[in-house]
Amino acid sequence: MGYFYSINAGMSTEDNDLIKRIEQFCSSKPMSERAFGISVAGNHKFISRLRAGHGCHSRTLARVEALINGEPLPRPAHSRHDASEAA
């Protein structure tokens, strides 16, 4: 099990910085916040949930950082490919 990155309890400066970095990334690319959330978390409400103070898993945070930095995205922990590869 991995770590959970929480941005609860009155969002810190670091938490706001992450959201601002995501917003800047989306505005500088032809990518909506909805598409960003689907890309990194498989969830179109990812950014709105961050804004509401919900956290994210450390693996998701790694995917956020990779996408923003233009690096290949780490594979999600539970992808559809895992089940088909096991067969």
Domain count along the chain: 1
pLDDT in tens, 30-71: 999 999 999 999 999 999 999 998 888 889 999 999 999 999
CA dihedral of residues 69, 47, 8, 78 (deg, nearest 10): -70
pTM of the model: 0.73
Of 83 and 69, more confident: 69
Domain membership of residue 73 as a residue range: 4-86
Q: What is the CATH number of the domain that holds 77?
A: 1.10.260
45 neighbors 39 (Cβ within 8 angstroms): no
